[in-house]
Structure 1
Amino acid sequence: MQVVAAASEADALATLGAYFDALSRALAVPVEGLRKRCLVRFELGAPGDAAGWVWELRAAPDAAGGVTSPGDAGGAASETADVTISCTLQHFLEIASGRLKPAAAMLRGLIRVRGD
């Protein structure tokens, strides 16, 4: 899926929603080659704002997975994630569109990855 720059926060959220919907459709079947079930949490915030949005991606070698949004970053998460990726909404869209490389974003402190 091609991700393009968004003009406003509402546009960015719509683009992000479409991106995660496409991921959810791709994960609707078991993931071949995956060794165990996993939960990846994306915590995406607005620049300078501690609050934000959360999406959880579930994948499994033996069952259908998908992507859900359990609520905002201040809400309770459903369970402990294997990996949590945190960054601003804009930086995530830049990574998803290919304008920002994930390794460069980590080195510059623009994204944070916690977990196994």
Structure 2
Amino acid sequence: MNSVRKTTTTTLWRPTGPEELALVEASRWTAWPPRLPEQPIFYPVLNEDYAVRIARDWNVPASGVGYVTRFEVDTEFLRRYPVRQAGGETILELWVPAEELDAFNAHIVGRIEVVREFR
């Protein structure tokens, strides 16, 4: 009898601008691009509302458009990153060091998808 282990996933969101989104699209919607030297941390967020606020209130003024993406990551892998509260009760992030982004990307299950767009 074959036993197939189903991966348990956690849904994460990432607010992003057009440049980063173009790089995600170039990966066929499977990976986040390497961080720039001034970006030592990749921070996906734990709820859509917080991602919406960043995309709408920060990305739109900075680049004319903001996107909210949603993706699934292997829950067991995510346990290495403590949840960070970056403000109020619902402002929750994971802080992934830039040098660990390849490993993080390898644990994305399925595709990264755009779920909201603001202009």
Task: Give the TM interval when normalised to the shorter protein.
Answer: under 0.3
Higher RCO structure (Cα 8 Å, ≥6 apart): 2
Length-normalised TM-score, structure 1: 0.27
